[in-house]
Amino acid sequence: MNDRSQRHKRSMEKLKAHVDEKVANAQEQRGLLLIFTGNGKGKTTAAWGTVTRALGYGYRVGVVQFIKGLWDCGERDRLESDPNLEVSIMATGFTWETQNRETDTAACQAVWQDAARMLADESVYLVVLDEITYMLKFGYLDFETLRQALVNRPKEQTVIITGRNAHRELLEMADTVTEMQEVRHAFNAGIQARRGIDY
Ligand code: ATP
Ligand code: MG
């Protein structure tokens, strides 16, 4: 074996020991709370990717879309015929389009009832609360209501929350937090959101 191959072998042995140790240390089994936040693109895409992953194993999944419910969504169109998927959509569009606090709050509360039901149902393996961070920010949903529902959810249930400006206490509760960092976004160069790519 030449020098380079030997060095490679040594570094792979080290890596294996490191990974083995981490695997051995991960003993706990339970559902997770994941948050995909930050200004970069990819939060909702990552959530739907995980939905697809869970459906692939035959698990039941609930997706609740806050705010952007009236938007087209390719993943939803593709997956909604799966009997294991339930999608609940907020019946109002963009809040800066409706500009009506009362109707937005009512729409949020209505869709929250579906979310609360999913969060109490142990047959639902994964619940996605897409863009729910804005509901807290605008005061359409109070944090304590969400916190209680998350704390009391079934032990095996995983929840994914997406949206910018995630509540500080929510971030502290989460097992996994990923912040999508915007390095660049095409929109800022005047390029339109693209069908099948951005929605
Ligand atoms: P995606 O749905 O593509 O995963 P996202 O969930 O991370 O995006 P949102 O803030 O929910 O981001 O934005 C929804 C829409 O805005 C999508 O069409 C997305 O491509 C686009 N978008 C995401 N990030 C940015 C950005 N930094 N500037 C402009 N548009 C953005
Ligand atoms: Mg999104």
Coil/strand/helix, residue 171: helix
Among this protein's residues, is 96 annotated catalytic? yes
Kind and range of the H or E run holding 33: strand 33-37
Please say whether the dihedral angle defined by the alpha carbons of residues 108, 139, 42 and 115, taken in this order, is positive or negative: negative
Q: 98 pLDDT exceeds 70?
A: no
The response to whether residue 133 sits with its C-beta less than 6 Å from ligand 1 reads no
Q: Which of 35, 63, 55 is nearest to 179 (CA)?
A: 35
Q: Which two tokens stand for residue 80?
A: 């909604």
pLDDT tens digit string along 23-49? 888 888 999 999 999 999 999 999 999
Q: How far is the CA of 185 from the centre of ligand 2 (A)?
A: 14
Calpha distance 144→158 (Å, rounded): 19
| Number of the ligand 1 atom closest to the C-alpha atom of 47 | 4
The response to whether residue 187 sits with its C-beta less than 6 Å from ligand 1 reads yes
Residue nearest to atom 12 of ligand 1 (CA): 41
Coil/strand/helix, residue 104: helix
Q: 70 pLDDT exceeds 60?
A: no
Predicted TM-score (pTM) above 0.85: yes
What residues contact 141, with CB distance under 8 A and at least 6 apart? Answer: 108, 109, 112, 132, 135
Whether 47 and 184 have beta carbons less than 8 Å apart is answered as: no
Q: How confident is the model at residue 93 (pLDDT cuts 50, 70, 90)?
A: low
Q: 99 pLDDT exceeds 80?
A: no
Q: How far is the CA of 40 from the centre of ligand 1 (A)?
A: 7
Query: For domain 30-180, which architecture applies?
Result: 3-Layer(aba) Sandwich (3.40)
